[in-house]
Amino acid sequence: KINSRRTIDVSPWMKVIEREVAYKDGTTELYHAVTQQDYIAIVALTPDGRIPIVRQYRPALERHSWELPAGLVDAGEDPAATCERELLEETGHISKAVHALGIYSPCTARLSNRIHSFFVEAGPRTQEIEAGIELNLVSPAELGGMIYSGEFSLQLHIGALMLAGMRGFIDLTSFTSP
């Protein structure tokens, strides 16, 4: 049973929720979770069969990271609209068709938000990308090699790729180990 709940504002993008949990034996314990807006992950496929991935500096890792295009859902924004906006901002590609892959919990132990995963049939590139982002277009086999080598290491995005494969949007069997 939750005895109490307190929210601590950390920044405009993040809050910490502290919960006091009571157990049947009479003991209590404090648990903390991070809360922020829901976010989206995009598995896109360009007309020539490549998957856009982006590289950006991540302070939490203190290094650059290759990832799928992604972003936070703004308050009141539909996640599918976020998907189209983020794909355009981070890759310059328009969305021809957006397919929802599901809504899941990124970490049930420490995060209280949700991740909305999408597969997008991407159209042509129509604009420049955001500053600080490097774009690469890779084949499924190349991306598989990056996953196996640890160069592409964001587990949440590997999960989105798996969902796209399970739904038949990409062929995961073409992923090859080095």
Query: Is 0.85 surpassed by the pTM of this model?
Result: yes
Q: Is 49 exposed, middle or buried (0-12, 13-18, 19+ CB in 10 A)?
A: exposed
Closest CA to 14 of 32, 30, 37, 31: 37
66-78 pLDDT per residue, tens: 999 999 999 999 9
**Please, what is the average pLDDT of the chain?**
93
CA angle 162, 63, 93 (to 5 degrees): 50
Q: Report, as an integer, the average pLDDT of 4-15.
A: 93
Give one word for 102, left, alpha or beta, with left for phi > 0 and alpha for psi -120 to 50.
left
Indicate the DSSP class of residue 83: H
Q: What percent of the chain has pLDDT over 90?
A: 85
